[in-house]
Amino acid sequence: MSGGEIAGIILASSFALLVIFLGIPLTKLGKILDEAALTVKSVNKELEPILGEARETLAEANKQLKRIDHITEDVEQVSQNISSLVAVFTASIGAPLTKLFGVTQGVLKALGKRR
């Protein structure tokens, strides 16, 4: 064996060791990536029903909000009707009562001056 052959054997064996030392972490990294892929798949399987339930919940919430909107509109209309009724009541009863009160005050003042 010559010096070049020995150097070639040393170089080849050191390259083989390098491949082995790099292969071990790469194998572990591959296992980690496989576990990560399994985790992502299981999360996706669990997430689909949750998203379906969330979609149903939002649909029900939207139905309830529409009902609340209708109730709010009805309450607003009732409030306007009550306001109109109070205005009519005040106009029809309030004015005569004010006149009656004025007449009563005038009579009381007149009677008070006579004494």
Largest Cα span, the chain: 154
Work out how many domains the chain is built from and give that number: 1
Look-up: residue for tokens 């040393």?
10
C-alpha 40/C-alpha 30 separation (Å) is 15
Measured CA to CA, the distance from residue 2 to residue 45 in angstroms comes to 64
Report pLDDT for 114: 63
Confidence of residue 93 (pLDDT cuts 50, 70, 90): confident
What range defines the domain where residue 98 resides? 1-115
**Unique residue bearing structure tokens 């491949």:** 19
- Please report, to the nearest 10 degrees, the dihedral formed by the alpha carbons of residues 19, 24, 30, 31 taken in order: 160
Q: What are 107-111's contacts with CB under 8 Å, separation 24+?
A: none
Most confident listed range (34-38, 87-91, 105-109):
34-38
pTM over cut 0.75: no
pLDDT in tens, 2-26: 888 899 899 999 999 999 999 999 9
User: What digits encode the pLDDT tens for the residues 41-90?
Assistant: 999 898 989 999 999 999 999 999 999 999 999 999 999 999 999 888 88
Secondary structure class of 1 (helix, strand, coil): coil
